[in-house]
Amino acid sequence: MRKPAALIAAVMTAAVFGAGEVAASPQWTLRFSYVPEQVYQGLPAAVSVLVKPDTARCSLTVRYADGSLQKGLGLRRASSGRIAWQWTMTLDAPAGPARARVSCGSSGSLSAPFRVVGVRTPG
């Protein structure tokens, strides 16, 4: 009768420690490597990600405070697990909060906020 109890204890111990090992080694498939805190009207902006698998295809969407979307970002294929998008903010880009969203199919999606800062003109 002791053998079943010992077996149950061993299985429970393995399950607890096995779950701890999985939790201790987090697996990621998509993460930002760069998102600006703020960007300025009329200047370059960039977002980059690290993704697995190393040749995943991802798209970037940037939504501005007024709900408009940045054009020309499109779909990119990773090279060695890295993808970067660069664009120049227009002088009339809506100032205020904005959001960058990256979607990579089965590798997942993520988003991050940033702020568009208006350019002051001498007046």
At 20 the pLDDT is 32
At 122 the pLDDT is 58
At 108 the pLDDT is 95
At 13 the pLDDT is 33
Q: What is the pLDDT of residues 93-121, one digit of tens each?
A: 999 999 999 999 999 999 999 999 998 66
| Predicted model pTM | 0.73
At 28 the pLDDT is 75
- Contacts of 108-111 with CB under 8 Å at 24 or more apart are 108/29, 108/30, 109/30, 110/30, 110/31, 110/32, 110/49
- Beta-carbon contacts of residue 74 (< 8 Å; ≥ 6 apart): 59, 60
Q: With a cut of 50, which residues of the chain have pLDDT below it?
A: 1-25
Round the CA-based radius of gyration of the chain to a whole number and report it: 22
Quote the CA–CA distance of 39 and 118 in Å, as a whole number. 9
Domain 30-117 of CATH type 2.60.40.10: yes
